[in-house]
Amino acid sequence: MLLFELKKIFGKRKNKLTLVLLFAIVLIGSFLTIRDVRCYQEDGTVNFGFSAASQLKKMKNEWKGELTEDVIRQVVEENTKNKDFAGSEEVMLARQQSFDDIREMINQALSPEGEYDYYTADHVSQEKAAMLYEERIAKLKRELSDSEKGAKNYSKKERDFLIRQYEEFKTPLYYEYAEGWKALLDSQYLPTLMIITIVLIGFLVSGIFSDEFQYKAESVFFAARLGRSKAVAAKVEAGFLTVTLVYWSVMLLFSGIVLCVIGFDGAGCMIQTGTNWESFYNITYLQDWLLSMFGGYIGNLFILLFAMFVSVKSHSTALAVTIPFVLSCAPMFLGRVSMLTNIMNFFPDMLLRISKFLDVLLVCEVGKTVMGIYPFLIGVYLLLSILLLPVLYFNYKKVQIK
């Protein structure tokens, strides 16, 4: 029965076209992500993709190793030499690429409170830059003690939790080329692909529980000997498997293409060596990928199971199709309304954009425990997804034939 339900899903012409479209979107997203990796040449030209990655790997690995105080001083010295170089801007930009990641860490650590200044590293002293690990903690403490920011937005337990996470951060950081992971996790394409994936999977699963009603065959289905038992269970299993197989196929294909071209190097580097300097999650790029992928899966699973539940209750394919779009897109816009921002932080769409917002200090207090919002949301929506499975089964099993 399960195979029969899966054949019904993947055998439909519109669903086959949906899968082809999704495959094409993965290829386009992979191409655009790879193309975003650039290496600037001294003659003003720019290399993209694989050739750029090969050059950047050689350049950035000149600084491979622990970013000790001495190494950071050397970066400031090198940056000063490059800044004082009486050559063209193109040559300066090309030469800066080898230490640009470390320069960016200095910018983020030592920029003025609540601001970001790209030229901070050009003016800071070597001794000041060497204190960037200590300044990271000090800067957080100053922000959390600010009556308008920290004290107003965080409880004492939450402030203590954030400070403790910063203080437990192991330094000096290990650094090496990690452009593949940065291209994959820091780009705009991963969360966009997750949203597109959930919407298109919605087309695949929206008819699982309503097709019999659309074709006026519900009386035959439920009158069958196993219609209200194994047949219903097969529909639930088919929905779960479709969401799981399509989601992981898309994400693994997208990740595999990008990393195979740009490189798997740097998986063990901390995410703070990239654009997530202020993140309180003390995790590596590989762990970031696992968190983002599993979180995205749980978000997909809950939203699509809920769409199937709507289909069960309404017997409408059209209504069920709208649910993934509404739950994955609408909260992003509603979150811009100040009075709704905090509420929107707990909607499942947050799990589709984990990698882009790991540097935002989003925490929640549950009883006596304080944790990051993403582990909390993963736990909550995993539990709700598990509960939705029997709910789907028993609600469809008890459907009354009119």
CA angle 164, 101, 91 (to 5 degrees): 160
Amino acid at 169: F
| Token pair 């640009």 in the structure block, residue | 100
pLDDT per position as a tens digit, 226-257: 556 687 888 899 999 999 999 999 999 999 99
CA angle 75, 78, 82 (to 5 degrees): 135
Q: What is the pLDDT of residue 32?
A: 94
**How far apart, in Å, do the first and last CA atoms of the chain sit?**
25
Q: What is the pLDDT of residue 229?
A: 67
All residue ranges of the chain with pLDDT < 70 are 86-87, 147-151, 211-229, 399-402
> What backbone phi and psi angles, to 5 degrees, belong to 92?
-60, -45
Q: What is the pLDDT of residue 100?
A: 92
DSSP tally for the chain: helices H, then strands E: 20, 6
CA distances from 55 to 4, 67, 249 (A): 51, 21, 31
pLDDT per position as a tens digit, 133-164: 999 999 999 888 876 666 678 888 999 999 99
Whether the ω angle into residue 375 lies within 30 degrees of 0, i.e. cis, is no
Nearest partner of 171 among 278, 69, 62, 276, judged by Cα: 69
**β-pair partners for 174:** 66
CA angle 170, 173, 177 (to 5 degrees): 145
> What are the start-end ranges of the H helices in 263-284?
none
The SS3 of residue 8 is helix
